[in-house]
Amino acid sequence: MIQLKEIKTRKEIRQFVLFPFSLYKDNKYWVPPIINDEVNNFDPAKNPVFEHADARLFVALKGKKIVGRIAIIINNYEVQKQGIKKLRFGWYEVIDDVNVSKALIDKAIEIAKQQELEYIEGPVGFNNLDKTGVLTEGFDHIGTMITWYNLPYYKDHLEQLGFVKEKEYLENKFLFKNVDAKKYTKAGNLIQKRYNLKELTFTSTKDILPYVDEMFELFSESYSKLSTYVPISDKQIEFFKKKYISFINPELIKFVVDSNNKMVAFSIVMPSFSKALQKAKGKLFPFGLFHLLRARKYAKDITFYLIGVHPNYQNKGVTAIIFRENIKTFAAKGIVNCIRTPELEDNTAIFKIWKDFDPVTHKRRRTYRLNI
């Protein structure tokens, strides 16, 4: 018999967070989160996303054993201001028993009906900075710090329960050696001169921080037309700074500004922390932090986390300046693999940016929708 239990206390949230550690034990592709960070993510006193969102956490039990979990989320800005009557679900993990998935999804349906919402979509997080989608291809590739990994039956469970594809995401990678350095040096120089632009590069995290707010303003302008976009508050930006900026090697952040020092493009590249997180096993101490700091400095694989260009400069080749600067840094660091975060299948603009790099789609993921 399957029973659902709502998770409320910090101790219970920790159990919620720990469930996939047992589910994926000895799986060489799953990348664990830092446990305390994940617990804090669901703490309204620590995560400002709860100013504009509500979340209820549930675990499915067989006897006393956890066999599934789900976070049921309502982004109030999305529902009330944008008029999108959607219930979100994420942090969805289950054993291979469709009845467990059904129990969890039935709870989501119940809450959606109580709130007079029209459909359910997931797996998704609170907003655009959270992990998205259930993996449908690429199960034999290691996950990343900023994506969910799952086993093949997740897709089957959701489809058996009546869900249909909502959005498709592609994950691509390419070898750095395939990048034509001379081409981007020449193009970057030409575009920089044509539009009187200037690159900003960094060696210290503290030098980046004064630009982060402006970067997020540009992020909003760059991504606001995407179907998945939900605005991000100032407090959420501060939370992001604390959670991620200190882990990003400052040499891998590039900005482009105009003649008035207004930012027109940005790129955040992260060292691959996947293997370091596997070694850390969810804990920063005593050795986890060492593995992460080592990866921050020496990782030979990198992940393109965010890239944005102001609408006034899109289709003008400004990314050539960013790539020119990244190429210099990657060459100096001996980078081998360049990995891109999930990108919407219909985001043709982003695919045009990458077309010259001979990318290979190695993973696919999607969100699923259920009308109620």
- pLDDT tens column, 341-367: 999 998 887 888 888 889 999 999 999
Using CA atoms, how far residue 107 sits from 87, 114, 164, 224, 243, in Å, is: 11, 11, 18, 31, 31
Cβ pair 278, 291 in contact under 8 A: no
When the pLDDT of each residue in the chain is averaged and rounded to a whole number, the result is: 94
Q: DSSP characters for 207-234?
A: HHHHHHHHHHHHHHHHHTTSTT-----H
Beta strand 360-371 with 119-122 is antiparallel
Alpha-carbon distance 110 to 105, whole Å? 9
Q: Kindly report, residue by residue over 56-105, the tens digit of the pLDDT.
A: 999 999 999 999 999 999 999 999 989 999 999 999 999 999 999 999 99
Report residue 165's pLDDT band, with 50, 70 and 90 as the boundaries: very high
Ranges of each domain in the chain: 2-170, 174-363
Residue 227 reports pLDDT greater than 70: no
**Which pLDDT score is estimated for 222?**
83
In sequence order, which residues have a C-beta less than 8 Å from that of residue 63 and are 6 or more positions away? none
pLDDT tens figures, 250-284? 999 999 999 999 999 999 999 999 999 999 999 99
Q: How far apart are the first and last CA of the chain?
A: 26
Using CA atoms, how far apart are residues 134 and 169, in angstroms rounded to an integer?
10
Residue that wins the pLDDT comparison between 228 and 123: 123
pLDDT tens per residue across span 3-34: 999 999 999 999 999 999 999 999 999 999 99
Could you tell me the pLDDT band of residue 136, with boundaries at 50, 70 and 90? very high
Cα–Cα distance list, 252 to 201, 268, 308 (Å): 8, 6, 15
Would you say the CATH fold of 174-363 matches that of 2-170?
Answer: yes
Residues 6+ apart with CB under 8 A from 236: 48, 49, 127, 129
CATH code for the structural domain at 2-170: 3.40.630.30
Q: What is the pTM of this model?
A: 0.92
Q: Rg of the chain over CA atoms, in angstroms?
A: 21
Class of domain 174-363: alpha beta
